Amino acid sequence: MKILYYDWDEFNGEDCRDAMRRLGHQVDTVRLELKGFDVTPEMESTLRSLINKSENGKRYYDFLYSFDYFPNLSVVCQKYGMPYVSWVFDCPHYTLDSHTANNDVNKIYVFDKMLCRYMQDRGVKTIDYSPLGVNDIRLRELCKQMDGETGGQIIYQHDVCFIGNLYDNEYNFYDQMQNFPPLLKEYIDIVIEAQERIFGHDMFTDEKAITDDHIDELAKYVKFENSGNYELDYGRVLRDILRKKVTVNERRNILTEMGMHFDTVIYTMPGAKPIEGVCNLGIADYFDKMPRIFRKSKINLNITLRNILSGIPLRVIDVLAAGGFLITTYTEEIAEYFAEGEELVIAYTPEDMIQKAAYYLEHDEERKQIALKGQQKVFEKFAYTNLLSRICDIC
């Protein structure tokens, strides 16, 4: 196949294109000056010339591909009859609420089964499910290189490590909300605190915890812009704001506890608020530094963004692919795809995560064997070449 790939400097783009080429596809990239989600004359002109390119009387490219879904790309593809494939790794990703999502040229993949069902229940017929992937070839070679540098022995840099966003910045929208009634805020804060104690059950879709009346009352104090281009479920947006606040709290609280007991580091944005006992070592680039850190940390943590309701976060797959040992919060699909205690370790409460970190820091061989089996599972089930074979075949 000949694939036209929209390159927006996403961190995993080169890995994906490499896998496509190893599958035998021709991949040509296109860069576009996108202005929001409008279709500009310049953008349409560039895409039209590529879409209409032909060879021997047939259209040259089989489909346009992008990571994440861009409504304006779909609009142009719909106009000129070009299949458009998008694989969404961001969460939440509200462009899926665009009325363009049902354009019949689309094939949209999301990595969360609950999100997939939600979109299908809303009548979006172009949505399908696929877990996220990794470039197994690149990571195999990188692991061999690292082992060669140390004579086959892993020289650990950290005891406990977390790489990820703390969201204690402008993306923490809950703390920016003001003037809503004290009793309502008090109740929501109680639910947020309770949610921190429970992994694997979303209290914000539980009518026993947060009712539609709570959300309707909260909505009175939040201003939403309505461009007319989206069919947003504002109740879901508000629930996502609350979920992110839970993530802010639990990442900070869990890491604070880790810092009190173990040598703990984080790699996150430089402006993140400090956590006592935890060293912030800044940003780790995805391609090279991050897998090295994963492999050289005795314990890697995944504290799942609460907006991911059932899916496997990319961090889980990235840690395991690098040969790192992982303790993760529970999600339904992590438990479905991985053998707990054999390929990774699942924590069911914050206390459980602390206790399991203490145990595995004292059991080196058991930890190493779990990391090895986890890496084997990811290379077998989550390699881009395996996942893209299905995606491209469908196209």
The structure tokens listed for 262 are 């173990």
Residues 34, 72: contact at Cβ < 8 Å? Answer: yes
Cα 68 to Cα 90: distance, rounded to the nearest angstrom: 7
Cα 91 to Cα 82: distance, rounded to the nearest angstrom: 26
Predicted structure pTM score? 0.95
Cα 238 to Cα 235: distance, rounded to the nearest angstrom: 5
What is the model's pLDDT at position 21?
97
What is the model's pLDDT at position 26?
97
DSSP letter string, 52-69: T-EETTEES-SEEEEES-
At the topology level, CATH places domain 136-173+244-381 in Rossmann fold (3.40.50)
Query: Would you say residue 120 has pLDDT above 90?
Result: yes
Query: Would you say residue 171 has pLDDT above 90?
Result: no
Phi and psi angles of residue 216, each rounded to the nearest 5 degrees, phi first: -65, -40
Query: Would you say residue 297 has pLDDT above 80?
Result: yes
What is the model's pLDDT at position 393?
76
What is the model's pLDDT at position 104?
96
pLDDT digits (tens, 9 = 90+) for 363-374: 999 999 999 999
Query: Would you say residue 299 has pLDDT above 90?
Result: yes
Instruction: Tell the CATH superfamily of the 2-130 domain.
Output: Glycogen Phosphorylase B; (3.40.50.2000)
What is the model's pLDDT at position 228?
65
Q: Shortest CA distance to 257 belongs to which of 357, 346, 183? A: 357
What is the model's pLDDT at position 176?
81
Mean pLDDT of 62-84: 97
The structure tokens listed for 318 are 């990235």
CATH 3.40.50.2000 location in the chain: 2-130, 136-173+244-381
What is the model's pLDDT at position 147?
84
Cα 203 to Cα 165: distance, rounded to the nearest angstrom: 22
Mean pLDDT of 226-255: 89
Cα 389 to Cα 20: distance, rounded to the nearest angstrom: 9
Query: Would you say residue 225 has pLDDT above 80?
Result: no
Query: Could you check whether the bond before residue 131 is cis, i.e. omega within 30 degrees of 0?
Result: no
What is the model's pLDDT at position 395?
67
Alpha-carbon dihedral sign for residues 4, 33, 225, 245: positive
Instruction: Give percent above pLDDT 70 in the chain.
Output: 98
pLDDT digits (tens, 9 = 90+) for 181-196: 999 999 999 999 999 9
The structure tokens listed for 29 are 């990239």
Who wins on pLDDT, 282 or 222?
282
pLDDT digits (tens, 9 = 90+) for 128-160: 999 999 999 999 999 999 988 877 778 889 999
Instruction: Give percent above pLDDT 90 in the chain.
Output: 83
Cα 243 to Cα 39: distance, rounded to the nearest angstrom: 33
Question: What count of Cα atoms within 13 Å lies in the side-chain half-sphere of residue 161?
Answer: 26
Task: Tell me the residue length of the chain.
Answer: 395
What is the edge-to-edge ordering of all strands in the sheet holding 278-280? 278-280, 264-267, 158-163, 297-302, 326-329, 345-347
Query: Would you say residue 327 has pLDDT above 80?
Result: yes
**173-177: which pairs have CB atoms within 8 A and are 24 or more residues apart?**
173/241, 173/244, 174/241, 174/242, 174/244, 174/245, 174/248, 175/245, 177/218, 177/221, 177/222, 177/241
Question: Using 50, 70 and 90 to split pLDDT, how confident is the model at 270?
Answer: confident
Summary mean pLDDT of the chain: 94
Residues 202, 309: contact at Cβ < 8 Å? Answer: yes
Helices (H) and strands (E) in the chain, counts: 14, 14
Question: Using 50, 70 and 90 to split pLDDT, how confident is the model at 231?
Answer: confident
